[in-house]
Amino acid sequence: MDVIYEKIKPNRKIEIPKEIMERLHLKVGEEIALSVTNRKLLIKPARSVIDEVVGTAKLEDAKLIDKIIEDTEFRE
């Protein structure tokens, strides 16, 4: 994908172009996580740990699921 340029609008707002929303699988109203690394703004979906592991562990793997939840920054 080529670089897309946007201007910062009044009240510090930026618009995320449709093609970037689609690449990130984001929907209007969905929460995102913003972080800064080396003067770069990183935007990613703010999905929970549960969303990330859904379908990767069988329900009978209760110990594994508990460990995943305990070992993450799930608690806020």
What's the pLDDT score for residue 26? 87
pLDDT at 12: 94
CATH number of the structural domain 1-45: 2.10.260
Task: Give the integer Cα–Cα distance in Å for 15 and 62.
Answer: 41
pLDDT exceeds cutoff 80 at 60: no
Q: What are the tens digits of pLDDT across the range 14-54?
A: 999 999 888 888 889 988 889 999 999 888 888 765 666 66
Helix, strand or coil, per DSSP, at residue 59: coil
3-state SS string over 2-45? CCCCCCCEHHHECCCCHHHHHHCCCCCCCCEEEEEECCEEEEEE
The full set of domain ranges for the chain reads: 1-45, 48-76
Round to whole Å and give the CA distance between 61 and 54: 12
pLDDT given for residue 24 in this prediction:
83
Give the per-residue pLDDT at 50: 62
